[in-house]
Amino acid sequence: MYIGGVNALLKIKYWRKKRKLTQLQFAELLQVSQGYVSKLEKNLKNPTMNMIFKIAAVLEVCPKDLIHCDLDCDHCSYKSCSN
């Protein structure tokens, strides 16, 4: 997945399992198919930014917690989440 030209892996599966949700339960909460969730977790599909925010809301995490990238946080333009 590319976000702002940076290759990033989503950590959806990690957070879904931490919340003890099956793919089917998670898909129902997102109102998408289980197949779509599976493809997201395998990085075979690129979610829209709106979907990333929806996923974050369902998992009760900050959107930035879903994304793993190699950029130093000082270089990120997304600053609405604070630690």
Both structure tokens of 44:
């075979």
Both structure tokens of 79:
């600053």
- In terms of Cβ atoms closer than 10 Å to its own Cβ (0-12, 13-18, 19+), residue 9 is exposed
Q: Tell which CATH architecture fits domain 2-67.
A: Orthogonal Bundle (1.10)
Q: Would you say the pTM of this structure is higher than 0.95?
A: no
HSE-CB at 50 with a 13 A cutoff on CA atoms is: 1
pLDDT digits (tens, 9 = 90+) for 68-83: 665 555 555 544 454 4
In the predicted model, is pLDDT for residue 1 greater than 70? no
